A = this chain, B = another copy of it.
Amino acid sequence: MRIGELAERTGVPAATIKFYLRERLLPPGVHGENNIVDYGPVHVHRLMLIRALSETAGLSVSQIGGVLTVLSRHPDSAFRAMGATLAVTHREPKFSLASEESVERAERTVERLLAAYDWAEVTPPMYREALVTALAAYFRLGHPDLGDVLTHWADAAAQLASADIESIVEATRDGDVDVEQAVVTTLLGETVIGTLRRIAHIAAAARFQAGEGSSGTMGA
C-alpha cells in the first residue's frame, strides 16, 4: 500500500510516518514501478509498536530507537532482549548538590543492600551509581536512614523480576517465545506497576485510617 493508505489504515498521520522513517524507527518501504513506494503489514505492526512505546510507555524517540535495536539484535533470546531493554530505558538520576558525607553514607547503604540480596557481583556500575545518587539526595535533604523501607522496595523488585523471568520461562515451555512480547510486557509493566502502586496506596491508607478510627471493623 502507499503511504496515504498506511496512514488511513493505522490512524497515524502521514507526516508522522515520514518522521519515523527519517528517524529510522520505521523500515523503508519497497520501491516499485513508477517510483511508487510500497508498505506492508510489517509497517502497520511497527507503527502500533512505536505508538505503544511512545504514548503508552512514555519513551523518548531515542529510547524507542534503542528498544528497536535490541529487538533486531536479540531475535531469539527473550532473556537478553528483556535485560537489554531495561538497560536502554534506564533513566540516569543526577544530584549536583550532593555533599561528600551524603555520598559516602549512600555508598555504605547501597553496599549493605546489594550484599544482603546477593546482588553485589552482578550489579553493573550504572545501576549502582543510580542508587547511590538517589540515596545521596535523600540524605542531603537531612532525612534519616530509610530503614526497613529499602528492604521492602528490594523485596518488591525481586518479585517483579521473578514475574518477568517466569513469564518468559512459561512462554518458552509452551514453545511460543515471543521476544517482542517479552519486551513490551516489561515496558508497559513500568506504567501498569506505577499505577497499581497508586491504587494500592489509596486502599492501604483507607484501611489503616479506618482501623485507627472509632469502629475499627474495617481494619482487618
Contact = CB atoms under 8 A, between A and B. Distances in A.
B161 A204 contact: yes
Interface string A163-201: 111110110000000101100110011111111111111
A55 B122 contact: no
Contact of A188 (B137, B148, B198, B202): B137
Nearest to A136: B56
**A contact face: mostly helix, strand, loop, or mixed:** helix
A37 interface: no
A93 to B, nearest CB: 5
A6 interface: no
A61 interface: no
A145 to B, nearest CB: 11
Query: Most B CB atoms within 10 A — which of A11, A47, A96, A203?
Result: A203
Category for how many chain A residues contact B: 35 or more
A70 to B, nearest CB: 14
A87 to B, nearest CB: 7
A199 B127 contact: yes
Interface of A: 10-12, 45, 47-49, 51-52, 55-58, 79, 82-83, 86-87, 90-91, 93-97, 114, 117-119, 122-124, 127, 130-131, 133-135, 137-138, 140-144, 146-150, 152-167, 169-170, 178, 180-181, 184-185, 188-206, 208-209
Given A55-B94, A185-B143, A159 B166 contact: no
Contact of A86 (B142, B169, B198): B198
B152 A160 contact: yes
A163 B140 CA distance: 22
Given A55-B93, A117-B203, A134-B188, 20 more contacts: A47-B97, A52-B137, A55-B94, A55-B137, A56-B95, A56-B133, A56-B137, A83-B201, A86-B201, A90-B195, A93-B191, A119-B200, A122-B199, A134-B192, A143-B178, A148-B170, A149-B189, A157-B193, A159-B159, A190-B194
